[in-house]
Each structure stands twice: as C-alpha cells, then as structure tokens.
Homo-oligomer: A and B are copies of this chain.
C-alpha cells in the first residue's frame, strides 16, 4: 500500500443478503401478532459487532428506540437485533417502555447475551400496547442460523404494508480481501425526511471502529435514506443500523485507509439500493420516481429541491396519470425555499426536454405518455443553472391504492 487512493470495484452480489458477510445468522417466524404472516425476526452475530445507528428525527420516539439507544451507548457494540412487526410500541407510555425492556431481556436470555448487546425494534400500528406475551413466547422460538432461507424469513418478518421484501448486497476489496455489505429494509407508508417507518439493517464483515462507522452512516443517510419520500410523514420508529462483525480481517478502516473510498462507496450503494426499493414499494405505488437536480448553489440545496419535487402530491398524481405535467414540477421548485433563478430552469422528463430557460418547449405528448406508461422508473431531470450543486431524491406516484390502504389501515 502506498497511501494513494484506490478505487476498487464495487460489485453487486445477485441474491446476496444480510447473511453474505461473514459471521451473521438470521431467523424469522410467526409469533401471532399478524394473523398468518411472519412477524418476529432476529439477526445474530457470532461476535459482538461494532455498530452504528441513525434514528427518526420525530420528537415522539417509540419505546424500543430508547432501549436500543441505551444498549448501544454501553460499548458501541451489539450482537443481536430483534424486531417485531404489526405493532410499533409507540405512544404507549411507561408500559410501552417496560415492554421494550422485557423484549430485550427475553432476547438476551434466549441468545445467552448481556442485555446491552441486544437491540430491539418494532414497526406497525401506533398507540396500542405490544402483546408482550406473544412477543416473549415467540422470542423463545427464535433460532437464528446461516442457511440461505433464514435471511428471507427475516426479510418477511419485518414487513407491514410492504408488498415485497427488500434486500441488497454489494462487495468490494479492502486490503486485498473481499468485504461484503448486505442489507434488508422495510418501508411502505410514513416515508419521508429524516427517516420514516423505515427500518434498514445492514451487515458487514469489514473491520471498522464504531465511531468511524457512525460517521460514514450519518453522511450516507443524508444522501440515501433521507432522500426518499412516500407521503411526507416521518414515523416515530425509523432506524437504520449497521453491524460490523470484523471477520473479513482487513486492517481497521478509516478515512485515511487507502481503500476507504471503496468501502464508503459500497456502503452507499447498499443504502441507495434499499432506499430505492423502499420508494418503489411506497403504499399503493405503481412507479419509482427518481429526480436528479443539477445546477443548484449547493449539493444540499439540490437534494432539497429534488425532495420537494418528489414529495409533491400533484407531481405524484401526474406520474400516476402518465401526464408530463412539468408545470407542477416547476411549481414545486419555486416553493422549495432554495435560491433559484426563476428564468433559467430546464426540465426534462426522461429524455424529453419540456422546459428550457423556464420557457415551455414543444414536445410530443404521445412520446411523453408512452415513456411514462412503459417505464418502471420515471426520471425527472432538473437543471437550475444557478451553481454547481447536484443531488437526487426518490419517491413514488400517488394512487387510488394509497388512499385505500390508508383510509382503512387500522381497522
């Protein structure tokens, strides 16, 4: 190693999962919180894993988030992560907090760990008490293992109104060794700024200190998980956790490590992939919308404008209606609060340029409709021609099914 930056390749691992990195096991079972589907899962590491986590910025935080933060505060490591779906254990007061402690205690006992090595989390309905007997009975049945199907069991166990599981895996080379980063997520509704009922769990076998990992995760979260929106609602239960087993045997990663960039990029790819999967599976969604903004005064502004566009109910409805309605896009740009030059904006939908220097162009409506009908991902390109900043955001269309799902979710 000569200290110059290497850009080792980042490679997608087809069918890779949270079990691809060395040292992890998983389980997912039906514990009776949902009628039939899996609703309780665990990720277990062979060794105490260095950990980084980010949490919802909602001032109302669910009980398990508090308990998990306590666990991580002890030594920056966890060895097991236990999740239930169907009930968020949020807004449940003192009893909810006790239930979260009970859930952690039962898990520690089941896996023979100190309590502070266990993280717990919950997702589902807010404001109802956790059926704690079902949860603890379920925990006693959790037997994580590393066979292929276990990751899928876990992936299913954390879903609520999601229609599909979400997983990803990327690899790169650090110190000549392959290191893997696997991830799983759930999303669906309440997906917006600063984390939503978004749970993302990422595993890696890289050797990296918790503080360094935390720094990387925080930066990447701002460009990935915090750049998706389904409905503008920020949940009480969001969290993203990265566990690093350290079994890949590289020298400890930090920004001065020659392969740091490769590691960082790999982690970012994994988080971006999960983010897009979450946006694509937004409640009722039929399309993924990706907005790329260039020419902003800063990257932060670009991200903010992109997110404002992808969060506009009018833009989302237009995508559902296959209508290349750039008027709603420029309108959203105008109220983003970021500095713009109102006369210099370019907008394209896919390859179809619709606005140049804020002046409407003639374009084929048929071609635009065809693009919006045929493509799975609708690309919106904006150039503000006002600086060098760029950024992306992801979302989904607003459909009848979003309304149907959310008018009847609790009942």
Contacts and interface: CB of A to CB of B under 8 A. Distances in A.
A321 B233 contact: no
A223 interface: no
A10 interface: no
B91 A360 contact: yes
A358 B409 CA distance: 22
A171 to B, nearest CB: 36
A10 to B, nearest CB: 33
Interface in A376-406: 398-400, 402-406
Nearest to A236: B331
Given A334-B58, A335-B57, A340-B59, A314 B189 contact: yes
B126 A190 contact: no
Contacts of A312: 231-233
Interface in A100-131: 125-129
Contacts of A57: 335
Where chain A touches its partner, the secondary structure class is loop
A36 interface: no
A174 interface: no
A321 B408 contact: yes
A325 B405 CA distance: 13
A334 B60 contact: yes
Contact of A323 (B194, B236, B404, B410): B410
A403 B406 contact: no
A374 interface: no
Interface string A221-236: 0000000000111111
A314 B358 contact: no
A136 interface: no
Interface residues of A, number: 66
Contacts of A398: 403, 406
Interface string A335-360: 10000101100000000000101111
Q: Which of A125, A333, A402 has the most CB of B within 10 A?
A: A402
Interface in A280-317: 311-314, 317
A4 interface: no
A335 B407 contact: no
Given A128-B360, A233-B332, A360-B91, A323 B58 contact: no
A320 interface: yes
Contacts of A323: 407-411
Interface of A: 57-61, 88, 90-93, 125-129, 189-190, 193-194, 231-236, 311-314, 317-318, 320-321, 323, 325-328, 330-335, 340, 342-343, 355, 357-360, 365, 398-400, 402-411
Return the 3 tightest CB-CB contacts between A and B, nearest first: A126-B327, A321-B407, A60-B334
